[in-house]
Amino acid sequence: MNEAIKVMSERASVRNYEKGRQLPDETLQQILELAGKAPSAWNLQHWRFIVIKTEEQKEKIFPIAYNQQQVLDASAVILVIGDAEADKSAAEVFAGVPAEARDTLLSNIYGAYKRGRDFGEREALKNASLGAMQLMLAAKALGVDSCPMSGFDHERITGVLDIPDRFIPVMMITLGYAAAPIEQHGRFAIETLVMKEKFEEK
């Protein structure tokens, strides 16, 4: 089977890790670089990755993540944060674009973000989640297991990790090596998920 299809078919969330097993820095670097190649609206790249590897920080995060053991056992914990004011990156992103096209793009972006904080946060959630998914698949492609976690106190982690108001927590991802065979969970039948031409009640 095509290796990419295999990765997408076989990735499953792992909560039970080989505690103490190191994730090589080069592997982690490669995972994060691949994650950063995800697409985003206007290429604003709303994702940032806070990599937590020290025992001290993992201990701090453990209660904030409702004492989920995987936080302590994982080789690394990645907090994916999203840029709720990504318009601030626009001038840098389009620096190399010819002036006329750039001015139009910047004007569209600044106009959209004027809709307010809620718009910016929703763009951050969507686009940083694209990066998060690519991160988990990149990990799997490199033999590293993962688990996405929404269950943590978003407000407390913002304080503990000094996250400024511009960014919001999107997802915590544990990375490591499964300590037991991976179990796949069931999914809805494709017929439940897919609708033709317009919404269909299922």
In the complex, what is the shortest distance from the CB of residue 43 to a copy of itself, in angstroms, rounded to a whole number? Answer: 5
Any idea which residue has 């494709």 for tokens? 190
Residue 73 or 146 having the CB closest to a copy of itself: 146
Q: Is 199 left (phi over 0), alpha (psi -120 to 50) or beta?
A: beta
Any idea which residue has 């095509």 for tokens? 2
In the complex, what is the shortest distance from the CB of residue 198 to a copy of itself, in angstroms, rounded to a whole number? Answer: 4
- Residues contacting 37, CB < 8 A, separation 6+: 134
In the complex, what is the shortest distance from the CB of residue 18 to a copy of itself, in angstroms, rounded to a whole number? Answer: 20
In the complex, what is the shortest distance from the CB of residue 51 to a copy of itself, in angstroms, rounded to a whole number? Answer: 6
Residue 73 or 152 having the CB closest to a copy of itself: 152
Distance (Å) of CA 91 to CA 97, 143, 189: 10, 37, 44
